[in-house]
Amino acid sequence: MNIIVVGQGAMGLLWYHHLAISTAATNLSLLASTQHNLDDDNYYFSDHQGLAYQGKLNYAYDEEIKNADVIFLCVKSFKINTALKKIAPQLKANTHIILAHNGMGTLAELPKEFINQHNIYALLTTHGCLREASLNITHTGIGITDIGLVSGRVDITEQQALTCLLNKALPCVKLHNNIIEKQWLKLAINCVINPITALHDINNGQVNNHVFTLQIEAILSELVLVAKSEGIHLNTDILIKKIRQVATATAKNCSSMRCDVLAHKQTEINYINGYVHKLGLKHSIATPENTQLWQTVLRLASFDSSASSELRTNGMEG
Ligand code: PAF
């Protein structure tokens, strides 16, 4: 299989590295937004036990894009549409497109003809990974990966072959018939942990502090109502338990949204609490808690550092 990993961030390099050293026969390349001005084709990887590797990057150009069987998108949700638009005219029909990002709602933003021509998968992972510097990452925690088709008609054997290839590279990868339920669970986790940690500038574990209990219940009861209108049945108590487990398991981690806010980068809030707000409007369901979090994080990310800390303090009190 000809595979292109798109994105030179922590997740992109994590998968690139494992696919590169995997015994599964693949032609692998990396499509990096910065590759036109990167003279360096070395990358640096530290595994979860501290073992360091140095590897070579094989960048993707027109030839690789034309021959790609799999496009593995490891970019943020708000970059999916633009990243695919750039390469779509060159792709052959029936390419496997893997979307590996936080949040939901990106599929609906893709052009209809693109959706009709390709097989689109959602991939969710709990691996912890940190970008130390450009092309330098650390695998901070071993996790698991779930994958499932969200659009397209692919033979189950082909889906299994793709899953098997990914599983050989970075186990454990499981194929699901109904990945949408897993996407909603991940969305619930992100709707709680990401904005709370970003607004209060705290590690994931502190989300379990009782001061956030009422707010977490409000976020989730709105999400459960919205999900029901989309035909997805979730249970608030079960979600709370799962989120507490994730917060405990990743207690010392800085959530992706908090990292983005601290680095003055765009966050994925539009596809997380913003997605719940959007579906609330569609189904005429009030989502005041998610709407407020969506707006506050949007404002936080667009301010300079002094105003940000003021907003965070207000967020604490509110
Ligand atoms: O976005 C993140 O940081 C992660 O998805 C999660 C699960 C919140 C853990 O940090």
Q: Could you say which of 154, 177, 200 is where a domain stops?
A: 177
Same domain, yes or no, for 215 and 287? Answer: yes
Return the pLDDT at 71. 98
Question: 89 and 161: one domain?
Answer: yes
Centroid of ligand 1 to alpha carbon of 256 (angstroms): 6
Same domain? For 171 and 189 the reply is no
pLDDT reported for residue 40: 76
56-69 mean pLDDT: 96
Domain that holds residue 272: 181-313
Looking at residue 107, its pLDDT comes to 97
Residue 304 contacts by C-beta under 8 Å, 6 or more apart in sequence? none
Average pLDDT over the chain, rounded to whole? 93
Please tell me the distance from the alpha carbon of residue 270 to that of residue 89, in angstroms, as a whole number: 27
Residue 308, pLDDT > 70, answer no
pLDDT digits 0-9 by tens, 117-154: 999 999 999 998 989 999 999 998 899 999 999 999 99
Residue 303 pLDDT exceeds 70: no
On whether both 307 and 245 belong to a single domain, the answer is yes
CATH number of the domain bearing residue 214 = 1.10.1040.10
Smallest CA separation from ligand 1 atom 1, residue: 256
Q: Quick one: 135 and 190 in the same domain? A: no
> Does residue 297 lie in a domain region?
yes
* Residue 315 pLDDT class (50, 70, 90 cuts): very low
Number of domains in the chain: 2
Q: What does 55-119 look like in DSSP terms, one character per residue? A: EE--B--HHHHHH-SEEEE-S-GGGHHHHHHHHGGGPPTT-EEEE--SSS-SGGGS-HHHHHHSE
pLDDT of residue 147: 98
Are 165 and 205 members of one domain? Answer: no
What is the domain-level CATH number for residue 165? Answer: 3.40.50.720
- Ligand 1 pocket mutation, candidates 190, 271, 273, criterion most atoms within 8 A of CB: 190
Range scoring the smallest mean pLDDT among 137-146, 238-247, 300-309: 300-309
Query: Of all protein residues, whose CA lies closest to atom 3 belonging to ligand 1?
Result: 255
Closest C-alpha to ligand 1, atom 6: 255
| C-alpha Rg value of the chain to the nearest Å | 19
Rounded to the nearest angstrom, the distance between the alpha carbon of 272 and the centre of ligand 1 is 12
Helix (H/G/I), strand (E/B), else coil: 13: helix
If one residue of 194, 261, 265, 267 were mutated to test the ligand 1 pocket, choosing by the most ligand atoms within 8 A of its CB, it would be: 194
Residue type, 18: H
The residue-averaged pLDDT of 246-254 equals 92
Q: Residues 157, 27: one domain?
A: yes
Same domain, 121 and 34: yes
| Confidence at residue 310, expressed as pLDDT on a 0 to 100 scale | 52
Q: In this predicted model, which residue has the larger pLDDT, 289 or 300? A: 289
Atom of ligand 1 nearest to the CA of 253: 10
Report the pLDDT averaged over residues 237-263. 94
> Which of 148, 177, 206 is the last residue before a domain boundary?
177
In a domain, 104, yes or no: yes
In-domain check, residue 114? yes
Ligand 1 centre and the CA of 190: distance in Å? 6
pLDDT digits (tens, 9 = 90+) for 17-44: 999 999 776 799 999 988 877 677 899 9
Confidence at residue 37, expressed as pLDDT on a 0 to 100 scale: 74
With a 6 Å cutoff on the Cβ, whether 162 touches ligand 1 is no
Under the banding of pLDDT at 50, 70 and 90, the label for residue 314 is very low
Residue 69 sits in the same domain as residue 216: no
Say yes or no: CB of residue 194 within 6 Å of ligand 1: yes
Question: Do 19 and 129 have their domain in common?
Answer: yes
pLDDT value at position 316? 36
Specify whether 153 is located in the same domain as 207.
no
Residue 318 located in a structural domain: no
CA of 4 to the centre of ligand 1 (A): 24
Q: Name the nearest CA neighbour of 316 among 291, 296, 295.
A: 296
The pTM of the full predicted model, rounded to 2 decimals, is 0.93
pLDDT of residue 34: 80
Q: Is the pLDDT confidence value at 304 over 60? A: no
In this structure, are 140 and 11 located in the same domain? yes
167 is a domain residue: yes
Q: Which of 130, 207, 253, 265 to mutate to test the pocket of ligand 1 (most atoms within 8 A of CB)?
A: 253
Q: Does residue 250's CB lie within 6 angstroms of at least one atom of ligand 1?
A: yes
Final residue in a domain of this structure, among 177, 210, 236: 177
Can you give the pLDDT at residue 13?
Answer: 97
